[in-house]
Amino acid sequence: MKVDCKHVWEHISEYIDNGVDAKLREEIERHLEHCEICSAILDSTRNILVLTADDRTFELPVGYSERMHKRLAKELASPEQDSDDK
């Protein structure tokens, strides 16, 4: 089974939530080792999932990494979560 970038993007939020089975997880990790694009998307997606953890409405726009980065920038520019560590 060969995992391409699009396949990784489709499952990346499940992957972060440990929602993929062991075999797919292994395939994704193998792909991430040699794919800088997907590694960057994984980092970005993790950031987004943290930022929207309350309602978890984030949807990964498969095939539109440019749009994803705009959304990421927007999320980062308007932090809605109250920091309670101050």
Q: Which residues would be at the binding site for Zn ion (CB under 5 A)?
A: 5, 35, 37-38
- Cβ proximity to Zn ion: between 12 and 38 the closer is 38
* Nearest distance, CB of residue 22 and Zn ion, angstroms: 20
* Nearest distance, CB of residue 5 and Zn ion, angstroms: 3
* Nearest distance, CB of residue 16 and Zn ion, angstroms: 15
- Cβ proximity to Zn ion: between 31 and 51 the closer is 31
The H-assigned helical ranges of 1-86 are: 5-16, 22-34, 36-51, 65-77
- Cβ proximity to Zn ion: between 25 and 51 the closer is 25
Is there a contact between 42 and 71 (Cβ–Cβ < 8 Å)?
Answer: no
Integer angstrom CA distances of residue 34 from 22, 37, 76: 19, 9, 28
